[in-house]
Structure 1
Amino acid sequence: MFVRLGEIRLCEMRLCERLSPVMMSAMTSLFLVLSVIVTGLYAGFMLTFLIAIMPGLAELTDKQFTSAMRRFNEKVPGPFFLVLFLGVVALPAAALLTGLGEHDEVAGPAIVGALVCAVAGHLITIAGNIPLNNALAQSEGGDDSAARKAFEPRWNTLHQVRTALALVACVLLAVAL
């Protein structure tokens, strides 16, 4: 029952060949599950701003509103938000790449659609919401009424779009699962 070293290596290689697709499939599944979780958390965060925080802030005076938004804009971009912000793109991309050629006719396009939604939402954030946040921060000490008028309607419109995109991305990833 002695086995030569060459046969062991051949056996190990065949085992690795058999495990490789299984491991890749497990990685793809893990990335996809994490994608749904992270995108769901991100969409929930966006939805909370849309349906609770912004309507609550709308009832404040101009000074209170601009002060509150400035504080939010200082606190939101922390580590937890960055994990979500980056994760909604990185995790579906990882699921797509580790499962290349393995996704069925529904999962592949759903993941691609989710990525498109996530990237579009990020572009809106980077090109629209962040510049508005920066302008609001720079207006501190000035006319709060003018600052609010320049900020609130446009920010809310952009936020509605990126919230919808995040929700669609989450649904698409759930479909892909």
Structure 2
Amino acid sequence: MKALATSSLLAATLATGLMAGLFAAFAYAVMPGLRRGDDRTFVAAMQQINKAILNGWFMTCFLGAILALALAAVAQWSGGDRRVFVFVLAALVLYLAMFVITAAVSVPLNDELAAAGQPDRIGDLAAVRERFESGWVAWNIARAVTSTGAFGCLAWALVLHGRSTH
């Protein structure tokens, strides 16, 4: 059980950290950079990013973190340290909040942007961008905060786990 507790906690921390980094990078670099572009550039870039991100690496981290978090929580509850369990549980709750935001807000906004069609064929690019940008940016910041909080909880859980195994 100790091997499962350690490996699942490490996997959860790595996958959650990668997701937190992705959302944070969008918050502090990608979206501010795209904000400086014209409407066509913004819409075209986001449409292509939304297509490109649906790949095996993303899905492994995005969904794998949930599995690893659940395994880590079970392992800590079953035979691990209850102090570690509390931080793993907090991380799971924060990560699930990010997951819900993604499913309920970000994906529908991405789908709406894709449904607008090719940028060269959109009559009012400014309106399409306006319907998408501010909401997506605000909710992405919420995803960055929740996933970074989950990562921080897992980092501390690793510290506590390391102390309890010595």
How high is the TM-score relative to the length of structure 2? 0.89
In the TM superposition, residue 88 of structure 1 has moved relative to its aligned partner by: 1.8
Determine whether 1:106 maps to 2:83.
Answer: yes
The amino acid of 1:160's aligned partner reads I
Q: 1:87-166 to 2 correspondence within 5 Å?
A: 87-140=64-117, 141-142=121-122, 143-166=124-147
In the TM superposition, residue 78 of structure 1 has moved relative to its aligned partner by: 0.6
Which whole-Å CA distance do the structure 1 matches of 2:78 and 2:68 have between them?
A: 18
Match of 1:30 in 2: 7
Match of 2:46 in 1: 69
The amino acid of 1:88's aligned partner reads A
User: Which has more radius of gyration?
Assistant: 1
Which whole-Å CA distance do the structure 2 matches of 1:65 and 1:175 have between them?
A: 38
RMSD: 1.0
The amino acid of 1:82's aligned partner reads M
Match of 1:171 in 2: 152
User: Is the Cα contact below 8 Å between 2:91 and 2:153 reproduced in 1?
Assistant: yes
Aligned residue for 2:80, secondary structure, equals coil
In the TM superposition, residue 27 of structure 1 has moved relative to its aligned partner by: 1.1
Percent identity among equivalent residues? 32
> C-alpha offsets along residues 12-55 of structure 1, whole Å, 9 cap, x if unaligned?
xxxxxxxxxxxx11111111011111111111111111111111
> C-alpha offsets along residues 138-176 of structure 1, whole Å, 9 cap, x if unaligned?
112222100000000000010000110010000101111
In the TM superposition, residue 105 of structure 1 has moved relative to its aligned partner by: 3.7
Which whole-Å CA distance do the structure 2 matches of 1:68 and 1:157 have between them?
A: 18
In the TM superposition, residue 102 of structure 1 has moved relative to its aligned partner by: 2.6
Higher relative contact order (CA 8 A, sep 6+): 2
In the TM superposition, residue 104 of structure 1 has moved relative to its aligned partner by: 2.6
> Once structures 1 and 2 are overlaid, which stretch shifts more, 161-170 or 31-40?
31-40
The amino acid of 1:28's aligned partner reads A
Q: How many pairs align? A: 154
Q: Mind listing any 5+ residue stretches in structure 2 that lack a counterpart?
A: 159-166
Aligned residue for 1:77, secondary structure, equals coil
